[in-house]
Structure 1
Amino acid sequence: MIRIGLAGWGDHDDLYMNGVPQRDKLRAYSQHFNVVEVDSSFYAVPAPATFERWVRETPDDFQFVVKAYQGMTGHLRGRSPFADSASMFQAFRDSVQPVMEAGKLQSVLFQYPPWFNCTREHVALLRDAKDAMKGLPVALEFRHQSWFTPQLRERTLSFLEKEGWFHSICDEPQAGDGSVPTVLKATHPEQTVVRMHGRNAAGWNSGGQPNWRDVRYLYRYSEAELAEWAERLRLLERETANIAVIFNNNSGGDAAGNAKQLMRMLGIEYEGTEPRQLDLF
């Protein structure tokens, strides 16, 4: 099964033509798509009650890709709010437990930073993270080209498969060491993630500049580019039972439109139904 959705649900104005309040946007979003990436969990670990509410607000067949907290992937700068690594990982596990229990957790997405290159030390950190998340579905996305050089590509994929990571396949510009090629290979028979970052090569390495995210993900996929991905996804379906495609190219408001285009190309018709359990108080 191919699920198609977006990174976050709050900023896609073209989905909310009638001035939907922020508190109701996830419910409205779930009438268009049956998967979403939670990005807020990267900046702070949400309270379990927050996820409980999101579970209630979405249909039974809805899925969440939850981004790992920044301290779990080496992004954190400054003082950690947790006493140690063990308490940090446990807090995150507790946070997503309501999603897991509801059967709505597609994966926890570990996206490592552009400086996280292929070294023994970093391989050991991946093993530690996987062990700390034992029992939860986890996806792994690299952002340094060293993992997929011709010499290491097959070893990297074999490592993901052996350790039980879902491969998070990227579509992004090829703009130096801090970007990875599209490696069209599933490493788990049940789940794969595909993240569509756009192909803005000129803006990709704009980190450190004001509003750099507004530049990096400024891109609209063409009909031809999406048609190429429709064929790629059909091939991936032969290797993995479920694929979550996440459009992250929303700097210019293009993600929702591109996602709908790809759904039409693949013949995916989704019209969400209101969840059975609603907030009454």
Structure 2
Amino acid sequence: MIYIGVTGWGDHDSLYGAGVSKRDRLREYGAHFPTVEVDSSFYAVQPKRNSDKWVAETPASFQFVVKAYQGMTGHLRGENRYESKKQMFDAFHASLESYQKANKLAMVLFQFPPWFECNRENVNYLRWCKAEMGDVPIALEFRNQSWFAPGMYEKTLSFMEEEGWIHTVCDEPQAGNGSVPLVLVTTDQTKALVRFHGRNVHGWQKASGGQDWREVRYLYRYNHEELQQWVSRLRKLEETAKDVYVLFNNNSGGDAADNAKQMIDLLGIEYGGLAPKQLDLF
């Protein structure tokens, strides 16, 4: 099964009519897509009341990909409210309870930064992360080319398979050491993750430091030919992983939802069990 969605549900204006308030957007989102990435969990470990609400507002078969908190992946800036890394992981792990009880947790995504290089210290940290997360399905995304450099490519994939990490296949600009190549390989027989970041090479290289760096980096709209290339690729991934989760992250210009719908059409998928769409009153 191929599940297609986008990152977050608040910013995709093309999905929502004028009468849909921000607090009701997830309900409406569930009428369009069967999965979503929870990106708010990256900025703060979310309180249980939030996940309870999100689980209640989505259809029974809906699936969440929850992004790991930034302190867990080396992105943290500013004050650290946790006394130890162990306490941080325990708090995040507890925040997943609502998704797990409802059978709506597809996986947790650990996205590591460009400075997370392939070395012994970081490999050991990945082992520690996996042990801390226990039986929670976890996906791994790199932003440093050293993990897939000649001589390390096969070792990295073998490590992920042996340790039980779900490989995240990335479509992103090829812009030097801070990006990874397209690696169409699954490391888990049950799940795979694909993330579309756009192909804005200039924005990827220049987007650092400024307040609007995300708007620059992910400003890209895939054309029909680029999406069409992915039809056979996704089908190939589906041959080696039971469920393939596909998330569009190119939303700086509001393009992610439209591209995700195009991909659904290209694959000829008709999802059952979606939420009913809001009816226009006039």
Partner of 1:124 in structure 2? 124
Partner of 1:259 in structure 2? 260
Q: Does 1:212 align with 2:244?
A: no
TM-score by length of 2: 0.96
Partner of 1:242 in structure 2? 243
CA pair 273-222 structure 1, distance change in 2 beyond 3 A: closer
Partner of 1:111 in structure 2? 111
Question: Distance between the aligned counterparts of 1:107 and 1:207, measured in 2?
Answer: 28
Q: CA deviation at 1:227?
A: 0.6
SS of 1:227's partner is: helix
Question: Distance between the aligned counterparts of 1:271 and 1:240, measured in 2?
Answer: 21
Partner of 1:101 in structure 2? 101
After the TM superposition, which residues 140-151 of structure 1 pair with which residues of structure 2 at under 5 Å, given as runs?
A: 140-151=140-151
Query: Which residue identity does 1:176 align to in structure 2?
Result: G
Q: Does 1:192 align with 2:192?
A: yes
Q: CA deviation at 1:270?
A: 2.7
Question: Distance between the aligned counterparts of 1:143 and 1:33, measured in 2?
Answer: 27
Q: CA deviation at 1:16?
A: 0.5
Percent identity, aligned pairs only, is 58
- Residue deviations 1:76-123 (CA, integer Å, cap 9, x gap): 123211111111101001101110111111110000001001000000
After the TM superposition, which residues 49-198 of structure 1 pair with which residues of structure 2 at under 5 Å, given as runs?
A: 49-198=49-198
SS of 1:221's partner is: coil
Structure 1 spans left out of the alignment, 5+ residues: 276-281
Question: Distance between the aligned counterparts of 2:269 and 2:162, measured in 1?
Answer: 32
Question: Distance between the aligned counterparts of 2:17 and 2:53, measured in 1?
Answer: 24
User: How many residues are matched?
Assistant: 275
Partner of 2:233 in structure 1? 232
Task: Please give the root-mean-square deviation of Cα atoms over the aligned residues, in Å.
Answer: 1.1
- Residue deviations 1:16-43 (CA, integer Å, cap 9, x gap): 0233111100000000000000000000
Kept in 2: contact 1:31–1:271 (CA 8 A): no
Kept in 1: contact 2:61–2:273 (CA 8 A): no
Partner of 1:13 in structure 2? 13
SS of 2:65's partner is: strand
Question: Distance between the aligned counterparts of 1:55 and 1:145, measured in 2?
Answer: 36
Q: CA deviation at 1:52?
A: 1.1
Q: CA deviation at 1:215?
A: 0.6
Kept in 1: contact 2:33–2:274 (CA 8 A): no
Partner of 1:278 in structure 2? none
**Which stretch of the first structure deviates more once superposed, 128-137 or 202-211?**
202-211
Query: Which residue identity does 1:211 align to in structure 2?
Result: D
Question: Distance between the aligned counterparts of 1:235 and 1:254, measured in 2?
Answer: 25
CA pair 33-273 structure 1, distance change in 2 beyond 3 A: closer
TM-score by length of 1: 0.96
Question: Distance between the aligned counterparts of 2:272 and 2:256, measured in 1?
Answer: 18
Runs of 4+ in 1 over 3 A off after TM superposition: 271-275
Query: Which residue identity does 2:115 align to in structure 1?
Result: W
- Residue deviations 1:117-140 (CA, integer Å, cap 9, x gap): 100000011011111101111000
Question: Distance between the aligned counterparts of 1:12 and 1:134, measured in 2?
Answer: 34
Structure 2 spans left out of the alignment, 5+ residues: 277-282
Kept in 2: contact 1:170–1:180 (CA 8 A): yes
Q: CA deviation at 1:175?
A: 0.4
Partner of 1:33 in structure 2? 33
**Which stretch of the first structure deviates more once superposed, 204-213 or 85-94?**
204-213
Question: Distance between the aligned counterparts of 2:273 and 2:12, measured in 1?
Answer: 17
Q: CA deviation at 1:271?
A: 5.9
Question: Distance between the aligned counterparts of 1:19 and 1:157, measured in 2?
Answer: 47
SS of 1:265's partner is: helix
CA pair 23-121 structure 1, distance change in 2 beyond 3 A: same
Question: Distance between the aligned counterparts of 1:241 and 1:266, measured in 2?
Answer: 16
- Residue deviations 1:225-252 (CA, integer Å, cap 9, x gap): 1011111001111110000000000001
Kept in 2: contact 1:166–1:186 (CA 8 A): yes
Kept in 2: contact 1:115–1:144 (CA 8 A): yes
